[in-house]
Amino acid sequence: MTRSVTSMLLALQSLASKKSQSTDFPSIIERLANHFAQRLQPLAAHVEAFVAAHSFADYIFLAQGPFYALAREASLKATEMSCSYSQSFHTLEFRHGPKAIVSSETCLTFFLSENGLQAEAEVLAEMHELGGVTIAICNRANEAIRRSSDLLFELAFDGPELATLAPFIVPAQLLGFFTGVKKNLNPDAPKNLSRVVILD
C-alpha cells in the first residue's frame, strides 16, 4: 500500500492538472522526483536511527488542509505495519483536549503547511514543551521549528505546495516500517490483513 497510495495520489493530481489545463504539472513532478531521490537514503537512515532510540505508547499525526489526508494515511500505516496505537487530528484541534495524552511516550508527527505554518509551529512548540517527542515534516523549516523538532525532514523544493504531498508521506511510511521491524513484525505481511476484502 505504500507504493499504491503514492501512485494513486500522483495519478489523481495528474488528472486534476489536466482537467484544470495546467500544462506544467508533469514537469514539476519530474523535477520533484529528482530532487527527492537525493534525500531518500539519508532520510531512511535518520528515521531508522530515530526509531532505534525511542519506544512509544502512542503515535499522533497532525495536519491541516490537503495535508490532513496524509495524517490519516500515516496513522493507518503506523497501525498496519507496526501494530501500534495511532490517531490523527487536525493540528489546531489537538490542543483543545487531545493534548492531554502527550507524554515522553507520545510520538507526534506534524505535516506543516506553508499557509498555516505560524499557527502549526506554535502547536509543535507547545507539544514539545509538554514533553512529547516531535517529528516535523515541512518544505522549509524556520529556527522555531528546528528548536521544537526531535526529528526534522525538510524537503526544500521550489515549486507549488500541493506538489509536495507525495514526498511528505514517505517519512511517516518509514516510521511505520522501521517500528514494525523493531517489533520483529513483517511490515510486508501485516497481521490479520489481506490484499483485498471479499464480501459474501
For the chain, domains (ranges, CATH) are 2-19+26-182 (3.40.50.10490)
pLDDT at 2: 59
Is the separation of the CB atoms in 161 and 139 below 8 Å?
yes
For 161-187, write each residue's pLDDT tens digit: 988 998 999 999 999 999 999 999 988
Distance CA 27, CA 171 (A): 24
pLDDT at 1: 58
Is the whole-model pTM more than 0.85?
yes
**Per-residue pLDDT band at 3 (split at 50, 70, 90):** low
Answer yes or no: is pLDDT of 193 > 70: no
Task: Read off the amino acid at residue 92.
Answer: L
Residue partners of 161: CB distance under 8 A and separation at least 6: 113, 114, 115, 139
C-alpha cell at 87: 490517531
C-alpha cell at 114: 506553508
pLDDT at 6: 76
For 14-25, write each residue's pLDDT tens digit: 787 777 777 788
HEC secondary structure over 20-58? CCCCCHHHHHHHHHHHHHHHHHHHHHHHHHHHHHCCCCE
For 52-105, write each residue's pLDDT tens digit: 999 999 999 999 999 999 999 999 999 999 999 999 999 999 988 899 999 999
